[in-house]
Structure 1
Amino acid sequence: MRPSPFIFLLLSLVFSHNIFHQPSVFVNGDMKLIQETCKNTKYYDLCVSSLKPNASSTKADTKGLALIMVGVGMANATATSSYLSSQLLSATPNDPVLKKVLRECADKYGYAADALQDSVQDLATDSYDYAYMHVMGASDYPNACRNAFKRYPGLAYPSELARREDGLKHICDVVLGMIDHLSW
């Protein structure tokens, strides 16, 4: 089951009302907490560039920043699932193997979005071990897609899909670094 537009609306309401407030030391409206939080992640530049344009980031605590990044990951996974579904529709009808692999990949990215959605609930209840597990799962679903292409030697793994896979994995790595920091 893929996240509905309602989930994204709910996430934006959560971020705008900052209901997941956890005391942190930062000056409202500056970038200090974002920079400090991103220093604890594997991809500092990705972290800052993802959080900086989000208006809720400057009012968020560390957990709120992690939730915003989870939302970025969900958007990435959902967009990739949609991209694969559109590729499925444009694939030639006489290529059942490609259609099968594209369908499988679209499903895997949908599962990644679901796993990230589960991590939102875990973060809300301070269940950091479970949140970590769900984000790790979301990060691993693209591997199943890549492996589906490998099972059929005649199919080349599309470079656009490889780029999207790396993007989701990097976003998940950022979230994992934030969860590590939260669980100290």
Structure 2
Amino acid sequence: MCQSSRVSHPNDDNLIQSTCNKTPHPNLCLQTLNSNPNSKTTDVKGLALIMVDSIKSKSNNTLNKVVQLIIGTDDDKIRFALFTCRDSYTGILMGDVPQATQALKSGNPSYAEEATFDSISQANFCDSIQW
């Protein structure tokens, strides 16, 4: 008889749902956590670390795309906007993500929340640049 090594608890979905309902973007939270199998077997702190890891991954992907666009354009106005976005995403990766991770690991969720809100502000700033 073959059994899965993953242990699922009846309250897993409830914990994810109730945690995501407390965020500014519950649908995005649910999508992110439900796509990660580790979310089913962790606590609230673990869920927060999964979200921070998702921010890190998406920021890395975006930064790589921005760098590719910088290399591919000669338009000074567009290059300036892209450099600004590059700096924003570098700030997320070098400042906000490590701060949030450390804060969660040391039991200071309010600092983690502050860092994640800053990462949202940085990404929104990049999105708001007039090209």
Report if TM-score (shorter chain) is over 0.5: yes
Give 1:121 deviation, angstroms: 0.5
Query: Do structure 1's residue 128 and structure 2's residue 104 form an aligned pair?
Result: no
Which runs of structure 2 are paired with 1:19-168 in the superposition (5 Å)? 27=9, 30-92=12-74, 95-114=75-94, 115-146=96-127, 149-150=129-130, 155=131
Q: Structure 1, residues 16-53: CA drift from partner, whole Å, max 9, x if none? A: xxxxxxxxxx9268422111211222322221111112
| Structure 2, unpaired ranges of 5+ | 1-7
Give 1:129 deviation, angstroms: 2.6
Q: CA RMSD in A?
A: 2.1
Q: Structure 1, residues 64-98: CA drift from partner, whole Å, max 9, x if none? A: 00110111111111111111111111113xx2232
| Structure 1, unpaired ranges of 5+ | 1-25, 156-184
- Counterpart CA distance in 1 for 2:50 and 2:28 is 13
Higher relative contact order (CA 8 A, sep 6+): 1
Normalised by the size of structure 2, how large is the TM-score?
Answer: 0.81
Normalised by the size of structure 1, how large is the TM-score?
Answer: 0.60
Q: Structure 1, residues 130-174: CA drift from partner, whole Å, max 9, x if none? A: 212211221111244345x33xxxx3xxxxxxxxxxxxxxxxxxx
Q: How many residues align?
A: 123
Secondary structure (helix, strand or coil) at the match of 2:63 reads helix
Q: Stretches of 4+ moved more than 4 A in 1? A: none
